[in-house]
Amino acid sequence: MADSSRRAKVLLTGGATGIGAATAARLAASGAEVTILDVAEPGDGACAFVRCDLSDPAAIDAALEGLPGRWDVLVNVAGIPGPRPAEPVIAVNFLGLRHLTERLLPRMSRGGSVVNVASTAAQNWQRRAAVIDQLLDTADFAAGLAWCRENGGLWEKDPYTFSKQCVVAWSYRAVGAARAHGVRVNAVSPGGVDTRLTENFTAQIGAEQVAWMNSHIGRSATPDDIAKVIAFVAIGDCGWLNGVDIVVDGGMTAGRLGGWIDLSQSPAMLARGRR
């Protein structure tokens, strides 16, 4: 923010529950003026609220029209896990995020910040870059949705992972576009977090796999563990932090890269080897 004497104006999606609610609470406690976009109304009423379906570009446009003026920070937290139905997953997790960000950027203050919440599921997105780039190259929400419908075989098997890979890849692209507005763009990729979505993810990867992962890092994250990082990236004294994907997973990625966690011995990999 260019003027540090006033309260930061923050627009935050998905602030009714989980990581979004924890982030909204932290930002508000720091003195920020927070407005939440969500399909569900937040419970505590500490922040302004606008009901908005992020799978609908017209709803996003209407919400922004009702929120005039300049904004300092955009935090894109809203997401759904899938795996079915696949289309709403990609619509909310990526297409809506992109649409909202592109619409808001011209109205953001110089020195502002965009934070996109992705996931450690997005790791190794470069291996699918040829496919991801096809979606990222689409001009807008409608064109992106048309591509998804025409190419379901390329992404529908695991729409959550694909959507978050798109978020990370697009965040790197968005840095270039945001530079013209003096705005930073970063991504934050949580590992396992105890939220209302936990049951969905456990069902997908298996309780045994979750327990095995937690045995190496101690526990799953709480929403506030992730919110602390998001809030710092959003409004903290880190104006030179730009264009990075920050992994927040308690050390799981470090274990994989450093060799002290052997993924080949995980329940999921052992089960795959028995097939």
Q: What does the domain layout of the chain look like in residue ranges?
A: 9-274
Going from the C-alpha of 88 to that of each of 92, 96, 125, 132, 148, the distances in angstroms are 6, 10, 21, 17, 11
Active site residues: 160
∠ Cα 54 122 164 (to 5°): 10
End-to-end CA distance of the chain: 55
Regions of the chain with pLDDT less than 50: 2
Res 66: pLDDT: 98
Res 271: pLDDT: 81
Res 200: pLDDT: 66
Res 61: pLDDT: 98
Query: Can you give the pTM of this predicted structure?
Result: 0.93
- Superfamily of domain 9-274 in the CATH hierarchy: NAD(P)-binding Rossmann-like Domain (3.40.50.720)
8 A C-beta contact, residue 22 and residue 29: no
Res 36: pLDDT: 98
Res 123: pLDDT: 94
β-sheet with 184-190: strand ranges across: 48-51, 33-38, 9-13, 71-76, 108-117, 184-190, 245-248
Q: Which H, E and C letters describe 48-75, residue by residue?
A: EEEECCCCCHHHHHHHHHCCCCCEEEEE
Res 208: pLDDT: 85
Res 197: pLDDT: 64
Question: Cβ–Cβ contacts within 10 Å for residue 181, how many?
Answer: 17
Residue 110 half-sphere exposure, CB side, CA atoms within 13 Å?
4
- Nearest C-alpha neighbor of 179 from the set 78, 108, 259: 108
